[in-house]
């Protein structure tokens, strides 16, 4: 790929991170966070997006980001108070910025409908400062002069002579105590190459000279390896009897007047705390007691210990470095601990590990068949291999795992929008954002979650008046949480609204012919009616809850991920939708069954129960269509062998085993198989990628004996068989 | 006429995008040893263990900003001679003036072209080979 195109992709990836940072920062500020670093981070996020957009000439993005940045700058400098209204506008601006980033990524040049008005709003907020445009500002008489440096071959500048400017002005006391300036200067010149300048300006005319006064001062430019400590040591015994200023060359202590104090030694200590091995390269090694860090070893290095109060930076650095080492564990991982890897590479690795798992199973079976004892070295080695293979598989799967945060963080915006549309004040509470699950699961969660959150606000929460009447706070709460539970991820969407109106739900279901008027349903069964296809409680399809798609679509997408969704509701208290999903889509818990000497796998998540059909429960509907009575209800009995074309005559029901399954939309059916072999975790292999799509077959896997087993597509089998049954009936 | 390949550089920016852009520019100019750091502290840490001759650093960064890094470099003798180019979002006089006080060698306004980058480096090291 063209390097610039690759960088452009990186830019958009980074934008997503910055947008997330922007939003969470603004939300934190809305929640009362006054840490200046928060507003800085918010500002930096927009600033970075603008900077990158500039590099790729994304004009619309640059323009908006600039206005936004200006307003944030006003807020950062304290000229614009972060009131709730201001923050609300900023959050909307963040939404627009996100839209613009995505539009730019997609190459969409259409005008953003909200950008202009919001930009105007931001400009008004920024006041006069916002009027300042992008053009170069007037630099007046200030002219920048680049500072040239001499290059010394390939040598790193660390070896180049460093140096100090030493300003030395003896007081009269120095001479009175029989010290000699010339001796001090001579000693100083031994530390390196020195240029000594005498300042004799203060010397009065001869007749006015006080022989005991001090008039001379010197400026020594000392280059070489000497450090500040050794320079100050020269003047150790005249300390207090002279004015001494030691300034690093190139630095300009005199011009730092207006700047806040700068503490190099603590900075160095902090930085080197993360890299103790490199601490203080120029420091004499003997000066430190490496085993016991706290006291800087006065016995070994009396000179260093006796140095003037501001401890020499290297000493302080090493001291703190040692402390930092003990406490610095987590900090290390913070910096540069992640890499970006092409997803294809990870998937290739997952594929290979899948092969390894299969191979290991094949090998184990072969060893068993060879009749080797369980305790034989080969069998034991194989057990270890199995253990390792499983660990590798888990670790590799973990690479694809991502925190659900990436989808959770899209929800605050959705909540803001839906809240604005419905006029219901809503607070979104999220929990367990760090919970990890496979990337594909996360991607495919976005739509169902969006839908459920819309529903929770639109249908779940009452309007403020009703809430007030029920003694609830006007602001409704929608809670989104994620947690790991017994090898799956459980995601809950709950609201503190009125709960499901069961009378109304039942009425609608009857009206739509989904249930008969006489049906007696438990509360749970009534609640679950909302998952039925064609059920929609909204009197008219609102903008918010969508285009006539209901909870049945949500359920279908969750099931497509191998998940389950349930609802629980308490009148007046609210409803909770609970989704339980597998952590990965690469392996599946399967029920291995035989049908006409074929081995097939049914996903365990779809199986409600297994049963041995009794002759009196099975009723023929003519043709090959049969139903089976289970606890008073009838469900179609589908012969899997017939459905997949393995046989032409149905298996007598009493000779087989039935799997009661629940497919799409809650439709139940019983799948008749010859026998159950057992439960097993299987590695999913795409049939489409390796062969072609086959109706009734979702995918394939390879079993321990090396044979391919097909994984049943329960939904298709049920739908197709029902069609057949209708024809037959 | 210094050969760019003999000048090790360090690019400091909290944005991967900017680091990559500067790196690509430097590579086009013939620079070979290019290190990257994600903020001022990270940059300083890097320089203490592996000194470079040229630092191109962003101004606005978390932890330690570009000015902080510049001050740290100029006041720490082993690395104080390192050439320093400050990357800024716009031609901000006040910022550049402060950077000059601390001994910045040159500054570079984003977005920049490879040509500008070359000019800014040559103003420090002389015409590149």
**What are the tens digits of pLDDT across the range A428-475?**
999 998 888 888 888 888 888 988 998 899 888 998 888 999 898 988
Residue A553 shares a structural domain with residue A426: yes
Residue A567 shares a structural domain with residue A431: yes
The CA distance from A556 to A563, in Å, is 9
- Mean pLDDT for all residues in chain A: 78
Q: Calculate how close chain B gets to A297, using CA atoms only, in Å.
A: 24
Q: Chain B contacts of A163, Cβ < 8 Å?
A: 77
Q: Determine, yes or no, domain membership for A303.
A: no
Residue A492 shares a structural domain with residue A356: no
Helix (H, G, I), strand (E, B) or coil at A325: helix
Residue A232 shares a structural domain with residue A370: no
Q: Which residue in A has a C-alpha nearest to residue B92's C-alpha?
A: A137
Helix (H, G, I), strand (E, B) or coil at A113: coil
The DSSP letter of residue A533 is T
Q: Is A191 exposed, middle or buried (0-12, 13-18, 19+ CB in 10 A)?
A: buried
Q: What is the pTM of this model?
A: 0.52
Residue A387 shares a structural domain with residue A418: no
Query: Are B77 and A248 within 8 A, CB to CB?
Result: yes
- Chain segment A306-365, per-residue pLDDT in tens: 334 443 344 333 433 333 333 333 333 344 467 777 888 888 888 888 888 888 888 888
Residue A39 shares a structural domain with residue A64: yes
Q: What is the CATH classification number for the domain harbouring A228? A: 3.30.70
Query: Are B110 and A275 within 8 A, CB to CB?
Result: no
Residue A571 shares a structural domain with residue A433: yes
At A537, is the pLDDT very low, low, confident or very high (cuts 50, 70, 90)?
low
Selected residue with higher pLDDT from A197 and A329: A197
Q: Which residue in B has a C-alpha nearest to residue A227's C-alpha?
A: B77
The CA distance from A123 to A130, in Å, is 5
Q: Determine, yes or no, domain membership for A340.
A: no
Residue A591 shares a structural domain with residue A703: yes
* Disruptive mutation site among A150, A250, A253, A340 for chain B (greatest number of B CBs within 10 Å): A250
List B residues 43-102 in contact with A (Cβ-Cβ < 8 A).
Answer: 44-45, 48-49, 51-53, 60-62, 64, 68, 71-72, 74-83, 89-93, 96-98, 100-102
Q: Calculate how close chain B gets to A13, using CA atoms only, in Å.
A: 9
- Using H for helix, E for strand and C for coil, what is the string for chain B? CCCHHHCCEEEECCCHHHHHHHHHHHHHCCCCCEEEECCHHHHHHHHHHCCCCEEEEECCCCCCCHHHHHHHHHCCHHHCCCEEEEEECCCCHHHHHHHHHCCCCEEEECCCCHHHHHHHHHHHHCCCC
- Given A108, A143, A178, the domain boundary residue is A143
Question: What pLDDT does residue A663 have?
Answer: 63
At B26, is the pLDDT very low, low, confident or very high (cuts 50, 70, 90)?
very high
Mean pLDDT of A7-21: 89
Query: Are A251 and B75 within 8 A, CB to CB?
Result: yes
- Given A554, A582, A610, the domain boundary residue is A582
Q: Determine, yes or no, domain membership for A541.
A: yes
Q: What is the CATH classification number for the domain harbouring A522? A: 3.30.565.10
The DSSP letter of residue A685 is B
Neighbour-count burial for B70-99, b at 16+ CB within 10 Å, e otherwise: bbbbbbbbbbbbbbbbbbbbbebeebbebb
Q: Determine, yes or no, domain membership for A127.
A: yes
Q: Determine, yes or no, domain membership for A158.
A: no
Q: What is the CATH classification number for the domain harbouring A614? A: 2.30.30.40
Q: Determine, yes or no, domain membership for A316.
A: no
Residue A432 shares a structural domain with residue A563: yes
Question: What pLDDT does residue A49 have?
Answer: 92
The structural domain count of chain A equals 5
Q: Determine, yes or no, domain membership for A363.
A: yes
Residue A83 shares a structural domain with residue A171: no
- Chain segment A671-695, per-residue pLDDT in tens: 999 999 888 778 888 777 777 778 8
Residue A93 shares a structural domain with residue A185: no
Selected residue with higher pLDDT from B43 and A224: B43
Q: Calculate how close chain A gets to B10, using CA atoms only, in Å.
A: 12
Selected residue with higher pLDDT from A586 and A154: A586
Selected residue with higher pLDDT from A686 and B26: B26
List A residues 162-181 in contact with B (Cβ-Cβ < 8 A).
Answer: 162-164
Q: Is A700 exposed, middle or buried (0-12, 13-18, 19+ CB in 10 A)?
A: buried
Query: Are B104 and A251 within 8 A, CB to CB?
Result: no
Output the CA torsion A277→A282→A283→A284 (10° steps).
Answer: 110
Residue A59 shares a structural domain with residue A174: no
Q: Determine, yes or no, domain membership for A297.
A: no
Is the bond into A389 cis (omega within 30 degrees of 0)? no
List A residues 224-253 in contact with B (Cβ-Cβ < 8 A).
Answer: 227-228, 248-252
Find out whether A465 and A451 touch, Cβ atoms under 8 Å: no
The residue with tokens 């009995």 is A637
Sign of the torsion angle spanned by Cα atoms A593, A595, A598, A604: negative
- Given A227, A243, A273, the domain boundary residue is A273
Give one word for A168, left, alpha or beta, with left for phi > 0 and alpha for psi -120 to 50.
beta
**Chain length of chain A:** 729
**How many CB atoms are closer than 10 A to CB A333?**
9
Query: Are B120 and A146 within 8 A, CB to CB?
Result: yes
Question: What pLDDT does residue A297 have?
Answer: 39
Distances (CA, A) of B27 to A9, B19, B22: 19, 12, 8
Q: What is the CATH classification number for the domain harbouring A23? A: 1.20.120.160
Is A261 within 8 Å of chain B by CB? no
Is A140 within 8 Å of chain B by CB? yes
Query: Are B17 and A160 within 8 A, CB to CB?
Result: no
Q: Which domain holds residue A238?
A: 163-273
């Amino acid at each position: 790929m063209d390097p610039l195109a690759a960088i452009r992709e990186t830019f958009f990836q980074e934008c997503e991170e910055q947008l997330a940072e922007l939003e969470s920062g603004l939300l934190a500020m809305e929640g009362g966070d006054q840490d200046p670093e928060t507003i800085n981070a918010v500002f930096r996020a927009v600033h970075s997006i603008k900077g990158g957009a500039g590099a790729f000439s994304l004009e619309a993005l640059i323009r908006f980001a600039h206005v936004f940045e200006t307003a944030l700058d006003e807020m950062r400098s304290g000229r614009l108070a972060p009131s709730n209204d201001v923050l609300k506008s900023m959050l909307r601006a963040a939404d627009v910025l996100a839209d613009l980033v995505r539009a730019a990524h997609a190459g969409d040049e259409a005008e953003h409908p909200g950008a202009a008005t919001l930009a105007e709003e931001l400009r008004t907020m920024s006041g006069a400062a916002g009027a300042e445009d992008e053009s170069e500002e007037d630099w007046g008489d200030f002219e920048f002069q680049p500072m040239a440096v001499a290059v010394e071959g390939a040598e790193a500048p660390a070896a180049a002579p460093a140096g100090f400017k030493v300003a030395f002005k003896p007081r009269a006391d120095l001479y009175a105590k029989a010290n000699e300036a010339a001796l001090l200067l001579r000693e100083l010149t031994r530390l390196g190459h020195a240029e000594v300048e005498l300042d004799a300006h203060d010397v009065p005319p001869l007749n006015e000279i006080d022989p005991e006064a001090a008039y001379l001062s010197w400026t020594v430019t000392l280059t070489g390896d000497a450090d500040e400590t050794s320079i100050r040591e020269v003047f150790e015994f005249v300390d207090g009897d002279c004015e001494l200023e030691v300034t690093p060359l190139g630095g300009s202590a005199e011009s730092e007047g207006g700047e806040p104090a700068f503490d190099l030694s603590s900075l160095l200590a902090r930085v080197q705390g993360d890299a103790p091995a490199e601490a203080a390269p120029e420091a004499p090694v003997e000066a430190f007691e490496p085993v016991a860090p706290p006291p800087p070893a006065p016995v070994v290095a009396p000179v260093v210990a006796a140095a003037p109060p501001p401890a020499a930076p290297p000493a302080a650095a090493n001291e703190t470095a040692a402390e930092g080492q003990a406490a610095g564990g987590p900090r290390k991982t913070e910096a540069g601990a992640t890499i970006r890897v092409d997803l294809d590479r990870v998937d290739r690795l997952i594929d290979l590990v899948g092969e390894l798992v299969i191979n290991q199973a094949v090998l184990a079976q072969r060893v068993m068949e060879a009749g080797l004892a369980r305790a034989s070295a080969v069998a034991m080695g194989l057990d270890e291999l199995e253990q390792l293979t499983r660990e590798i598989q888990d670790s590799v799967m973990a690479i694809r795992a991502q925190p659900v945060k990436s989808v959770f963080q899209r929800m605050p915006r959705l909540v803001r929008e839906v809240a604005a549309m419905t006029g219901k004040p809503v607070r979104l509470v999220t929990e367990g954002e760090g919970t990890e699950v496979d990337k594909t699961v996360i991607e495919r969660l976005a739509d169902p979650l969006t839908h459920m959150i819309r529903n929770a606000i639109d249908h779940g929460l009452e309007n403020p008046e009703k809430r007030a009447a029920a003694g609830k706070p006007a602001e409704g709460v929608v809670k989104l949480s994620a947690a790991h539970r017994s090898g799956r991820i459980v995601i809950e969407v709950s609201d503190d609204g009125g709960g499901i109106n069961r009378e109304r739900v039942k009425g609608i279901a009857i009206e739509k012919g989904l249930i008969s008027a006489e049906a007696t349903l438990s509360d749970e069964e009534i609640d679950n009616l909302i998952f039925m296809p064609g059920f929609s409680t909204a009197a008219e399809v609102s903008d918010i809850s969508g285009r006539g798609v209901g909870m049945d679509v949500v359920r279908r997408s969750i099931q497509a991920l191998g998940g389950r969704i349930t609802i629980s509701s308490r009148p007046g208290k609210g409803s909770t939708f609970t989704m339980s999903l597998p952590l990965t889509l690469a392996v599946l818990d399967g029920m291995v069954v035989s049908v006409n000497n074929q081995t097939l796998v049914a996903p365990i998540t779809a199986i409600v129960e297994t049963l041995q059909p009794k002759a009196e429960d099975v009723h023929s509907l003519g043709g090959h269509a049969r139903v089976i009575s289970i606890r008073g209800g009838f469900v179609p009995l589908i012969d899997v062998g017939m459905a997949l074309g393995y046989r032409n005559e149905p298996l007598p029901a009493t000779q087989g085993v039935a799997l009661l399954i629940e497919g799409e939309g809650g439709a139940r059916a019983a799948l008749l198989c010859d026998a159950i072999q057992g439960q097993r975790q299987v590695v999913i292999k795409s049939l489409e990628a390796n062969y072609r799509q086959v109706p009734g077959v979702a995918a394939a896997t390879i079993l321990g004996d090396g044979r391919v087993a097909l994984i049943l597509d329960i939904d298709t089998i049920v739908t197709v068989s029902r069609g057949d049954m209708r024809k037959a009936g | 006429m210094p050969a760019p390949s003999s000048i090790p550089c360090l690019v400091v920016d909290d944005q991967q995008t900017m680091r990559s852009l500067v790196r690509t520019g430097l590579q086009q100019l013939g620079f070979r040893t290019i290190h990257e750091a994600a903020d001022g502290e990270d940059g300083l840490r890097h320089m203490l263990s592996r000194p470079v001759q040229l630092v191109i650093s962003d101004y606005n960064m978390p932890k330690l900003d570009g000015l902080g890094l510049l001050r740290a470099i100029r006041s720490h003798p082993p690395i104080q001679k390192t050439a320093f180019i400050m990357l800024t979002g716009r031609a901000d006089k006040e910022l550049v003036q402060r950077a000059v006080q601390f001994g910045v060698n040159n500054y570079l306004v984003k977005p920049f072209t490879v040509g500008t980058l070359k000019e800014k480096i040559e103003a420090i090291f002389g015409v590149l080979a």
